[in-house]
Amino acid sequence: MRTFQLIDIDAAGPYEGGFQYGRLAEEKIRAGVNDYRALFAETGGMSWERIKETALSYMPVVAGAYPELAEEARGIADGAGLGIDEVMVLNCRYEITKFPRPNECTSFAVLPEAGEGGRTYVGQNWDYRAGILDNVVILRMREPGGAWIVGLAEAGQVIRNGFNSRGVGLCANNLQSVDDNRGVGVPVTFLRRKALSCRSFDEAAKLLREAKRSVSCNFMLASADGRAIDFEAHPGGADVLEPVDGIITHANHFVRYPERNALETSPRGDRLRELLEKRRGRIDVPYIAQCLGDHENYPKALCRHPSDVSLPLGRRGVTVAGVVYDFENGVAHICAGPPCEGEFVAVEASEKSGSRK
């Protein structure tokens, strides 16, 4: 059974935490950098040196908005023995590879009126390239002050989806609007990381709504007190979608204002909602896991597989991970690879069991 490396981080400050992460995941971070170097060589366009310069140009933006996250990134680079420009490539790959952009990911939230026993869940199928499967890590971080965050990232990235002990959970999926551009904005990965440090649902919602951005992204925000909201964020702002009957799902097209779409409409969000509604009031983790392994509408199904044989295997689309964050029990249920093939493993958010490979 495929598993992801678990990285435990407990440090006095952001640089120290990043350094721990970089040291513990050095092998996978270096593999990730080499993977992107090969990807950009295969796909043409900018040279590797130009890619690194572009990524590094975001550093002043990050440092100005969230200086502690700039320090975390520097710690990751130093811990792994890499240049900060290489680590920034990993963290800015969403912006660098944005044009054109394939459909990626399906997110959801289930609120107490729909969840078994009044529970709240947030999660997603994370879809991307098969080439990163061996470089994904689970991060279990204890921040200064004692709060924890648990979630996933490509090794070398700051945490990109997860939940925290303050009751804030965030997942996300790609959007591309007709207004997306190569202007300057906070890279999406850093914005996700910042949201997962927020002390409340309202603080995170304000951050996601107001952040300066040049590209679009969909943010699925939920909280332990049974609230959820979906932000279809774009360069001009953020459109809001609310749960209906305790369920909200989203894929890769604008729902509130479809005229913003620059990608084809995906059936995955509607399909996931259809499945969840069948068990409304009785939705639990095993049923969500079953839904995330659904193959209706293949090859554009919820559970993605490397179907496009015209591409090298590492560049073909696949569900990299299925995740369900359980607020009440403080557990992240994580499947490495397509949910139909793997097992959802429970990662206790507060446990300090040490790192494993």
In a domain, 58, yes or no: no
In a domain, 38, yes or no: no
Summarised one tens digit per residue, pLDDT across range 127-149 is 999 999 999 999 999 998 889 99
Angle formed at CA 194 by CA 163 and CA 56, multiple of 5 degrees: 130
Query: What pLDDT is attached to residue 13?
Result: 95
Query: What pLDDT is attached to residue 277?
Result: 98
Instruction: Of 62, 76, 66, give the one whose Cα is nearest residue 137.
Output: 76
Query: What pLDDT is attached to residue 351?
Result: 52
Give the residue-averaged pLDDT of 111-127. 98
- How large a percentage of the chain has pLDDT more than 70? 97
φ/ψ of 81, rounded to 5, equals 70, 35
In a domain, 20, yes or no: no
Give the residue-averaged pLDDT of 285-290. 98
Query: What pLDDT is attached to residue 97?
Result: 82
Expressed as residue numbers, the domain containing 318 is 5-12+101-348
Beta bridge partners of 356: 6
Give the residue-averaged pLDDT of 70-94. 97
Single-letter amino acid code for the residue at 332: A
Helices and strands, number each (H, E), in the chain = 11, 14
What's the farthest any 2 CA atoms get from each other in the chain? 54
CB distance 220 to 171 below 8 Å: yes
Summary mean pLDDT of the chain = 94
Instruction: Of 47, 130, 73, give the one whose Cα is nearest residue 305.
Output: 130
| 324 vs 355 pLDDT, higher one | 324
Query: What pLDDT is attached to residue 257?
Result: 96
**Which residues, 6 or more positions from 341, have their beta carbon under 8 angstroms from its beta carbon?**
none
CATH number of the CATH domain containing 337? 3.60.60.10
The encoded tokens of residue 312 equal 């090298």
Query: How many separate domains does the chain show?
Result: 1
In a domain, 91, yes or no: no
The encoded tokens of residue 195 equal 């949201």
pLDDT reading at 353 higher than 50: no
In a domain, 32, yes or no: no
In a domain, 213, yes or no: yes
In a domain, 311, yes or no: yes
Query: What pLDDT is attached to residue 101?
Result: 63
For residue 268, give Cα distances in angstroms to 173, 210, 274, 335, 342.
12, 28, 10, 19, 20
| 100 vs 202 pLDDT, higher one | 202
In a domain, 94, yes or no: no
Query: What pLDDT is attached to residue 99?
Result: 64
Query: What pLDDT is attached to residue 309?
Result: 81
pLDDT reading at 100 higher than 70: no
Give the residue-averaged pLDDT of 85-103. 86
Model-level pTM? 0.95
pLDDT reading at 220 higher than 70: yes
Query: What pLDDT is attached to residue 282?
Result: 98
Angle formed at CA 254 by CA 111 and CA 158, multiple of 5 degrees: 70
Q: How confident is the model at residue 205 (pLDDT cuts 50, 70, 90)?
A: very high
Summarised one tens digit per residue, pLDDT across range 164-194 is 999 999 999 999 999 998 888 999 999 999 9
Query: What pLDDT is attached to residue 357?
Result: 33
